[in-house]
Amino acid sequence: MVEEKSVVTPWEVSGTVDYEKLIKEFGTQALDQKQLSSQKDAPPLLRRGLYFSHRDFPQWIADAEKKKTVSVVTGRGPSEKMHLGHLIPFLVAQYLQKRYGCMVYIPLSDDEKFFFKRALTQEQAEAYGEDNILDIIALGFDQQKTKIFRDFEYTTIYRYAALIAKKTTFSTAKAVFGFQGDTNIGFIFYPAVQSAHIYLPQFLHGSHRTLVPIAIDQDPYMRILRDVADGLGFIKPGAVHAKFLPGLSGNPKMSASDADNEVIFLTDTPDVVTKKINKYAFSGGKDTLAEHRAQGGNPDIDISFLYLKYLFEPEDKALAKIEKDYRSGKLLSGELKKILIDKINIFLKEHQKKKEQAKKLVSKFKLT
């Protein structure tokens, strides 16, 4: 049997991802799931295991609990309109801001996507950046405590990136990112820019603990930027790492570069959502009604159940009932899908309305 090779880099995720192994390979720590599940006000994706790994998270929490200055940075590479999977780190940032009243910084790396995507023009990357900013504001961040910026617009970031670039050698960056002779040099410089995003709160407000909620594929940036903390007189930023949200058909990562049938976009209409889920969402149900009633379905591999668990059913009791009824065969696959479809459509209707309203708020949030 040929083993499917697993690849996890900031640019490629493929194969079956072994998350335990990544903790060892990347040198991160496993998150204490018991402690997280007891945080009743935390979003489901934090309480129910989507976040699995961290760097210095307890230290960040300790400072936040002591009411010391702490901050959060999480960003987005704007190469596309946004989909459900893109919300994950922002939901965590928003929760931490609500709970601890901390500053949140949200960089959009239009430069990164411009360097990386051959066909993407500078204008397109910037336009996606502006569009994505509306989606992010629509989530409801605190106007006074949230700063959003794009690299091509907030070019002051270059000054900070330069301070970091000077302390990072090519061999370090090459070892972490595996650059090749044909990599364009914009891309080789970019890690200094993402590092500058993450040190920005300390550049602006002095040394303090910063936390970066990210998917695990972004950890290589954390590795190289933590090395320069001492030289800058700053504290090493910490991170919490999420697993990938699988695509509709069960692909390891919901990715907009896949066909539309993998992804629910934040712009999808109710009809489109209904069609996508009914047609494509991988089901843990049985083939025939009789079999399903007799043997029950398997929520552990069911994409609709997974989306309810991590995003759309925050009530533990309600989720437990869905799980039990599905396992016993009382709840059918089509009925489970209907529960999810209705929840997604309620969320998207509200989101799309708030995105429209966000247009008036952009200047309040932006660093320019």
Judged by the rule CB under 6 A, the positions of this chain that interact with ligand TRP are 73-77, 107, 109, 112, 194, 197-198, 212, 214, 218
CB of 276 to ligand TRP, least distance (A): 23
What angle separates helix 316-328 from helix 333-358, to the nearest 10 degrees? 150
Nearer to ligand TRP, 38 or 155 (CB): 155
Nearer to ligand TRP, 77 or 238 (CB): 77
Nearer to ligand TRP, 197 or 241 (CB): 197
CB of 238 to ligand TRP, least distance (A): 12
Tokens, residue 294: 């007799």
Which residues 6+ apart lie within 8 Å of 346 measured at CB?
none
- CB atoms under 10 Å from CB of 72, counted, come to 29
AA letter at 305: F
Q: Write the DSSP string, 314-333.
A: --HHHHHHHHHHHHHTSS-H
Nearer to ligand TRP, 42 or 212 (CB): 212
CB of 180 to ligand TRP, least distance (A): 19
CB of 334 to ligand TRP, least distance (A): 35
Round to whole Å and give the CA distance between 236 and 86.
Answer: 25
CB of 67 to ligand TRP, least distance (A): 24
- The residue sitting closest to ligand TRP, measured at its beta carbon, is 75
On whether the CB atoms of residues 115 and 188 are closer than 8 A, the answer is: no
Nearer to ligand TRP, 82 or 212 (CB): 212
Nearer to ligand TRP, 214 or 331 (CB): 214
CB of 77 to ligand TRP, least distance (A): 3
Nearer to ligand TRP, 87 or 198 (CB): 198
Bridge partners, residue 241, by sequence? 53, 214
Q: Write the DSSP string, 46-72.
A: HHTTSEEEEESHHHHHHHHHTT--EEE
Burial pattern 46-69, b for ≥16 Cβ within 10 A else e, equals bbbbbbbbbbbbebbbebbeeeeb
AA letter at 78: P
CB of 174 to ligand TRP, least distance (A): 18
State the burial class of residue 271 (Cβ atoms within 10 Å of its Cβ: 0-12, 13-18, 19+).
Answer: exposed
